Amino acid sequence: MSGPAAGTASAATTTDVVCLGESMVTFLPSQPGRLADVPSFGRGIGGAESNVACALAAAGHRAAWVGRVGADGFGEHLVETIAGYGVDTSAVRRDPVRPTGIYFRTATDRGTDTHEVAYYRAGSAASAMSPANVPYEELFAGRILHLSGITAALSADCLALLRELTAPRPGRPLVSFDVNHRPHLWRGGDVDASVLLELARRSDLVFVGEDEAEEAWGIVGAEAIRAAVPEPSVLVVKRGSAGATVFSGPRPAPRSSNAGGAESGPAPHSGEGGGVESGPASRSGEGGGAEVVTHVPALRVDVVAAVGAGDAFAAGFLSATLRGLPVRDRARHGHLMAAAVLTVPGDLTEPPARDHADRLAALDDDAWGRLRLGPGWTAADRAPEEVRTP
């Protein structure tokens, strides 16, 4: 049973981005320390795909989240909170039997040895998503369909669903896929994380971290990742503090599945680049054209909490893609959206005003390299030269 639709925020006729995946109620510690020592927790929400939907809606786009929650209070809280960001939740289903997933985490950086996360998601409502019970009409209603590798790890049915959604078909929207490798989700299963490579190769726009590619696939370096994932029109390799490398341009053959989707190649821009670090470089593409490789340095950020940055980067990049901005500026908007989340305690925050972000994204390479953003920067409405620099 797919259950009745949950939520009241209704989509506009044309949706920009539809995001599919599990969202969970997250319990955030009241103080630093081990989970065993934390006396109390505050309630929030967490989920890679719903985070992207919320960030896009906050940035002024028409975003929808499709998922499955339990017929319980936690599911109600999720749907109401996500809808409160302006996200269409009308296609979310309630499962009458399975619960909404929850998790607890410590206040430390996810990348450190002291970080702890306790998930209670096995057998969750979202893990029951399958090709037989999702609303395809709503999933294919947007210009972009955004997916992540987390969903593929939840169950065999969820993996079958992602294979179905990434399969070539007429009228398929542009498929955006964030690899989002979570090692703990793949332990002890019948399928390993190598399946994420298969899903990435079937997508149109792919986000992957260098560290993820090495851990999941044993592939090291941006060029090697591109060689292993040649099919997507746009491949974004996230390189941590080194920034991002974007591969874009002609591919072996146009994808019929892009019909009706947002542009996936770089928009013309006479001023793009200009420096070794952030300018594009051309190389011969497999289809006889020139592929563009664009390196965009990361910003210097006074980090408050290192959570949610990857989802925010994807949202910023997708937002700029929907607007037809050049590749360099797409990556810069990704960095700016990530900086907004990094300077607050939670996974979600109000993004900078569009004109403010546009001014920063348009800075020359030297000014971009001098930027240092700290807490409260998104509320500023200053000329670029007034942004705090060291």
CA 182 → CA 192, 215, 239, 311, distances in Å?
11, 10, 17, 14
CB-based contact 314:176 (threshold 8 Å):
yes
DSSP three-state, residue 147: strand
Short-list 178, 200, 131, 188, CA closest to 159: 131
Name residue 70's beta-bridge partners: 95
Residues 148 and 200: their CA atoms lie apart, in Å, by: 9
- 131 HSE (CA, 13 A, CB side): 10
- Cβ neighbours of residue 309 closer than 8 Å, sequence gap 6 or more: 338, 341, 342
Count Cβ atoms below 10 Å from residue 36 Cβ, excluding itself.
6
Amino acid, res. 375: P
DSSP three-state, residue 280: strand
Known catalytic membership, residue 364: no
**Interhelix angle 73-84/48-58, nearest 10 degrees:** 30
Residues 61 and 57: their CA atoms lie apart, in Å, by: 5
Q: Which of 88, 311, 329, 347 is catalytic?
A: 311
- Judging by beta carbons within 10 Å of its beta carbon (0-12, 13-18, 19+), is residue 54 exposed, middle or buried? buried
Element (H, E) at 136: helix 136-139
- Cβ neighbours of residue 23 closer than 8 Å, sequence gap 6 or more: 45, 46, 47, 49, 50, 65, 67, 69, 78, 82, 126
Q: What DSSP state is assigned to residue 382? A: -
CA 137 to chain centre: 22
Question: Which residues are marked as active site?
Answer: 311
